[in-house]
Amino acid sequence: MQSAHDPSLSSYYVNDALYRELIDSFSDWQRDDLVIDDPGERDCLRLLVEREARLLDQLRFDEWLTMYAPECIYWVPGTPEAGDPRREIAISFDDRRRMEDRIYRLRTGYAWSQAPKSRTVRMISNIEAFAADQSGVRMVRSNFLISEFRVDGTRFLSGWCGHRFVRNGAGWQIRFRQVNLIDCDQNLRNPSIII
């Protein structure tokens, strides 16, 4: 439900109900009985995940933000089980304002971890779409491999994403995105790009 507050300016929507919805969304969702068989719908969702990857590779952050619902979460858990973000630190846990902060910081010119900027290309594959508890909600699992070049070499970040899409008119918006790095619980060098 949309609140009266502008989520770019204040954070009222990150509350107990949201945390519960988030945890429930990513519990027991990759079930064979929920797989979306319709190739048209699956293709539509796949194109959105691929578009997001391209926008991030091209640093087109304003367009990237428009793919998200106004009240959204970008979550990179610090453990393979993801855990409960009310009790655990995540690698990143951004509401809309913090996503915008993240972009603002990268654009100041003083974010030394991204000066010079990383060059990235993302491979997205193994896309599966699932129905969810509510109609008008779709969950999508995808695998990713990010090649990241910066300063002295190229490295790889890999893992899988869970997207929670919600209906927005004829299309879909991202309500939550959970990014699961395979080495999320290990010490990472310079995790300063949006993954």
- The first and second tokens of residue 44, run together, are 């539509």
Report the residue number, 48 or 106, with the smaller CB distance to another protein: 106
C-beta of residue 89 within 8 angstroms of C-beta of residue 108: no
In the complex, the smallest distance separating the C-beta of residue 13 from another protein, rounded to whole angstroms, is: 7
> CA-to-CA distance for 56 and 138, rounded, in angstroms?
22
Work out the burial of residue 179: count CB atoms within 10 Å of its CB; fewer than 13 is exposed, 13-18 middle, 19 or more buried: buried
Whichever of 46 and 177 has its CB closer to another protein, that residue is 177
What is the Rg, in whole angstroms, of the alpha carbon atoms belonging to the chain?
Answer: 16
Residues at the interface with another protein (CB under 8 A) = 5, 9-16, 19, 78-79, 83, 85-95, 97-98, 101-102, 104-106, 108-113, 115, 185-192
User: CA-CA-CA-CA torsion for 67, 114, 84, 45, nearest 10 degrees?
Assistant: 30
Residue with Cβ nearer another protein (11 or 147) = 11
- β-strand 68-76 against 171-181: which pairing, if any? parallel
State which residue, 108 or 126, has the beta carbon closest to another protein.
Answer: 108
